[in-house]
């Protein structure tokens, strides 16, 4: 369909678009690539800017250009690490912010697949607040680890990821594909994060007394995970208690005669059998009551988990249905990420803490 010329769009909408895009790009750079700094805006604020941009583009479709943040996966490759072209595209997730939007998505899935909502199996997973990672295993040996980057090309962080104890360098079990791309999240365990910051605060007292430069106290575990993984010196990464959880697969080149699992949850069982950590919180649910119960459960226990979470992810369990549905330029259609309402007060307290 021919696009309306940009000049037909009201000047106010055009300048707001530029403003939003610039703010979002700046926040993304700080969020994904920061080593010892943090994003200028909170996640909730970022989400509001992003929603506003989506609405602006819905009202003026010509603004939804190919280079818009609404069409792309955040995070640019920097020159600090070698580029790592992904074997298969890495996507983000479609965010939804209410139970109604989860239901709208599930109803759409039922229409698209022909399987009624209360019969369709979905995996229910916590959304780990860490850093996306793609691990390439060739004949069962880890050959590369890459960040998500723009989804097409990430950064080669193999040396750093090899220091993470929960990432197997060689898979357990047998029948490994010739090539397997495991997708997961690198995170900083919450308890270790608090200990780490506490130790830094103590160290800073001594430094202050001696007049030497102070160490960065991290704003949150995600920020600490990103900063620790993107070190130029793997020895520093090794000194941080990072961990990894696998939550998907990308490219697969199977050994001859081998059949991959037909269901998402069976993949998790297989990855676990191969020695890869999968989430202890994963479940299979059917229908809206079970989805809501899962959301409510982790809303209540959100701060009792091994790591921080910022929401819940639902995925169609049927891999054939996933393939049939495919993806947009940014997100798979067969998954949705419900975001918990922001905990503003908590974040602000932390921000003050950092500045003291």
**Interface ranges with ligand NAD (CB under 6 A):** 27-28, 30-31, 39, 41-43, 46-47, 73-74, 92-93, 95, 125, 127-128, 132, 148, 185, 247-248, 313, 337
> Helices 99-113 and 287-300: crossing angle, nearest 10°?
140
Q: How does DSSP classify residue 217?
A: P
Q: What's the CA gap between 137 and 103, in Å, rounded? A: 37
Q: What are the residues facing 284 on neighbouring strands?
A: 123
Total Cβ atoms within 10 A of residue 92: 18
Nearer to ligand NAD, 30 or 236 (CB): 30
Question: Annotated catalytic, 127?
Answer: yes
Query: Which one, of 113, 3, 121, lies nearest residue 63 by Cα?
Result: 3
Question: Measured from the CB of residue 344, what is the shortest distance to ligand NAD in angstroms?
Answer: 13
The C-alpha R_g of the chain, in whole angstroms, comes to 21
Active-site entry in 127, 232, 315, 339: 127
Show the tokens assigned to 121.
């199996």
Q: Minimum distance between the CB of residue 247 and ligand NAD, rounded to whole angstroms? A: 4
Give dist(CA 196, CA 203) in Å, integer. 11
Buried b (16+ CB within 10 A) or exposed e, 194-221: eebbeeeeeebeeeeeeeeeeebbbbbb
Residues with Cβ < 8 Å from 300, sequence gap 6 or more? Answer: none
Cβ at position 292, least distance to ligand NAD in Å = 18
CB of 27 to ligand NAD, least distance (A): 3
To ligand NAD, the closest distance from the beta carbon of 309 in angstroms equals 8
Could you give the residue ranges of the DSSP H alpha helices within 98-189?
99-113, 158-161
SS3 content of the chain, % helix, strand, coil (to 5): 40, 20, 35
If phi over 0 gives left and psi between -120 and 50 gives alpha, with beta otherwise, what is residue 257? left
Q: Closest separation between CB of residue 273 and ligand NAD, Å?
A: 19
Residue placing its CB nearer to ligand NAD in the complex, 81 or 140: 81
**Which is closer to ligand NAD, CB of 156 or CB of 185?**
185
C-beta closer to ligand NAD: residue 74 or 154: 74
The residue among 73 and 146 lying less far from ligand NAD, judged by its C-beta, is: 73
Is the CB of 140 or the CB of 312 nearer to ligand NAD? 312
Report H helices in the chain: 11-33, 43-59, 99-113, 158-161, 190-210, 221-229, 234-238, 264-273, 287-300, 319-325, 344-355
Mapped to the 3 state alphabet, what secondary structure does 282-302 carry?
Answer: CEEEEHHHHHHHHHHHHHHCH
Select 128 or 224, whichever has its Cβ closest to ligand NAD: 128
Query: What is the closest distance, in whole angstroms, from the C-beta atom of residue 227 to ligand NAD in the complex?
Result: 14
Active-site positions read 127
């Amino acid at each position: 369909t021919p696009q309306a010329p940009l000049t037909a769009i009201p000047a106010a909408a055009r300048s707001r678009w530029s403003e939003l895009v610039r703010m979002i790009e700046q926040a993304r750079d700080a969020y994904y690539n920061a080593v010892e700094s943090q994003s200028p805006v909170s996640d909730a604020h970022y989400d509001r800017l992003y929603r506003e941009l989506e609405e602006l583009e819905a009202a003026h479709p010509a603004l939804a250009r190919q280079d818009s943040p609404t069409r792309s996966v955040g995070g640019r490759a920097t020159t600090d690490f070698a580029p790592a072209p992904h074997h298969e595209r890495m996507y983000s997730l479609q965010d939804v912010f209410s139970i109604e939007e989860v239901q709208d998505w599930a109803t759409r899935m039922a229409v698209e697949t022909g399987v009624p909502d209360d019969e369709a199996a979905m995996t229910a997973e916590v959304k780990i607040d860490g850093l996306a990672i793609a691990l390439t295993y060739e004949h069962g040996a880890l050959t590369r680890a890459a960040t998500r980057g723009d989804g097409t090309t990430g950064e080669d962080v193999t040396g750093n990821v090899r220091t993470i104890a929960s990432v197997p360098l060689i898979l357990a079990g047998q029948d490994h594909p010739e090539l397997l791309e495991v997708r997961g999240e690198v995170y900083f365990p919450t308890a270790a994060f608090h200990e780490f910051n506490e130790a830094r605060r103590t160290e800073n007292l001594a430094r202050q007394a001696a007049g030497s430069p102070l160490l960065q106290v991290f704003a949150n575990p995600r920020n600490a995970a990103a900063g620790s993984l993107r070190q130029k010196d793997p020895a520093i990464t090794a000194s941080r208690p990072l961990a990894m959880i696998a939550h998907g697969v990308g490219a697969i080149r199977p050994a001859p005669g081998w059949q991959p699992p037909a269901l998402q949850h069976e993949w998790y069982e297989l990855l676990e059998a191969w020695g890869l950590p999968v989430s202890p919180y994963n479940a299979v649910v059917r229908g809206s009551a079970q989805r809501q119960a899962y959301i409510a459960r982790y809303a209540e226990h959100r701060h009792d988990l091994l790591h921080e979470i910022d929401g819940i992810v639902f995925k169609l369990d049927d891999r054939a249905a996933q393939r049939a549905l495919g993806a947009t330029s940014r997100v798979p259609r067969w998954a949705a990420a419900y975001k918990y309402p922001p905990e503003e007060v908590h974040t602000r307290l932390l921000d003050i803490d950092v500045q003291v």
